[in-house]
Structure 1
Amino acid sequence: MPKTDRLNGCLDQIELEFVEREATPRLLMKLSIQLHLAGLSLSNTVSFLEVFGVQRARSTVHNWVHKADLQPQDGRQPDHVAVDETVIQLDNERYWLYAAVDPDTNELLHTKLEPVRTNALAHAFFAELREKHDVDDAVFLVDGAAPLKDACQRHGLDFRYEPHGNRNSVERVFREVKRRTSSFSNCFSNAERETADDWLQSFAFAWNQLI
């Protein structure tokens, strides 16, 4: 599918029920949300709007992304799921990002940002993943992280230790997430963990549309 078609489909899926007044044309709002999630900084997104004679603050665009409440589409049925966890730096705080990726499509299935790394949080992440997608018959690809293997065992899921191979897909996603949070740290300046978690789910939505 051409990327232009995927972009149009992505715009169609961005709902703007939160808009109370038509201060900005809806198409420009959707384009701004998509462009920022696709990699454009808030400053450059604001500059994009100025081309059309629309003056908006960076915080306004950030609020559009947050309020749109975008998430990866539910109901997937992958054969394999690559799962990993990594540290994300937000301002001066360190958080653990859990992510599940379909290695056949590189689509993000689910993400969750947590303040610490524990078996209980890994178990909760897998529970949410199972609620969103039909993954009970999938083979889970994990590295040597004990919490991930423990969560697979507690949920009765088939898993395989695979430090490389198909797990490279989730590593590529993590590299992009870290690049985005590092390059566009203004997204997270003084933000609460819940706000950053929402943004990362929105990023996952856009990632799936454009890969």
Structure 2
Amino acid sequence: MLSFDRLSGDSGCIELDFLEREATPEPAMKLGIRLHLAGLSLSDTVSILERLGVDRHRTTVHRWVQKADLQPTDGADPNHVAVDETVIQLNSEQYWLYAAVDPDTNRLLHVRLYPTRTNAVSSMFLSELREKHQVDDAIFLVDGAPWLHAACHRHGLRFQHVTHGNRNAVERVFREVKRRTNQFSNTFSHVEPSTAENWLQAFAFAWNQLI
């Protein structure tokens, strides 16, 4: 059997507070979480764990990701923040994924999933972003969406209407999210919005670890 210690990598930042209720060795759980969030489907992740002597179901790995409650770390102080939103299909309904990215590092700062996109929702997203990070002096890079402009005005944030350039950082993140959700359709099938949002925040955590 291969050593989990050699395969789990730098996973010390993944905290497993629910570990006492799990029979799976901690290194195997962390490896499963990292493999899935790094791009493997649940089925492929389970197959690798089986080769290491850990027989678990796809829903078990999915539950590990959910219970780990991974999110981007707080406290960033970026010079620019690219903000955008995109449609995410959740079962038969459409939701809006809001994301904020530091274009200088390509790190995700904050992600949230909402059932609509309005001035109030956009303002709520920026309010949470301001609580998590030092962004009041940053320049926000947004497209022509009036709800984003209105939210920036409401919070007194400087912003620029940018179509390409540094704002492409958030577009790259959205392309990867959609690649994952299209390739692994089971991710957002028959789940509650909170479950999908939890996975997206875990994806943001993993994205920041890999770039």
Same topology, TM > 0.5 = yes
Preserved CA contact (<8 Å) 1:108 1:208: yes
Question: 2:21 & 2:194 partners in 1: Cα distance?
Answer: 26
Question: Aligned to 1:147, what secondary structure does the other structure show?
Answer: helix
What is the DSSP-based 3-state SS (H/G/I as helix, E as strand, rest coil) of the residue aligned with 2:95? strand
Q: What is the alpha-carbon distance in structure 1 between the residues aligned to residue 145 and residue 180 of structure 2?
A: 24
Partner of 1:69: 69
Tell me which residue corresponds to 1:122: 122
CA contact (8 A) 2:28 2:54 kept: no
- In the TM superposition, residue 184 of structure 1 has moved relative to its aligned partner by 1.1
Q: How well do the aligned residues superpose, as a CA RMSD in angstroms? A: 1.0
* Structure 1 position 89, deviation (Å): 1.1
Q: Secondary structure at the match of 1:62?
A: helix
- Distance across 1 between alignment mates of 2:69 and 2:197: 11
Partner secondary structure for residue 13 of structure 1: coil
User: Match of 2:191?
Assistant: 191
Q: Distance in 2 between matches of 1:34 and 1:103?
A: 24
Structure 1: gaps (5+ residues): 1-6
C-alpha distance in 1 between matches for 2:171 and 2:60: 32
Q: Equivalences for 1:110-149 in 2 at 5 Å?
A: 110-149=110-149
Counterparts of 1:10-29 in structure 2 under 5 Å? 11-29=11-29
Distance 1:8 1:110 in 2: 25
8 Å Cα contact 1:90-1:181 kept in structure 2: no
With structure 2 as the length reference, what TM-score do the two structures score? Answer: 0.94
Q: CA deviation at 1:53?
A: 1.4
- Number of residue pairs matched? 204
Instruction: Give the drift of 1:20.
Output: 2.6
1:1-211 correspondence to structure 2 within 5 Å: 8-9=9-10, 11-211=11-211
**What letter corresponds to residue 88 of structure 2 in structure 1?**
I
Relative contact order higher in (CA < 8 Å, ≥ 6 apart): 1
CA distance in 2 between counterparts of 1:21 and 1:169 reads 39
Structure 2 residue ranges without an equivalent (≥5): 1-7
Distance apart, 1:161 and its partner CA? 0.5
AA matched with 2:49: L
Query: 2:71·2:204 contact (CA, 8 Å) conserved in 1?
Result: yes
SS in 2 for 1:127: helix
Identity %: 69
For the 8 Å contact 2:84–2:100, the answer to whether it is kept is yes
Letter in 2 for 1:56: R
Match of 2:3 in 1: none
Report the AA paired with residue 93 of structure 2: E
CA shift, 1:22, in A, is 4.7
Distance 1:131 1:173 in 2: 22
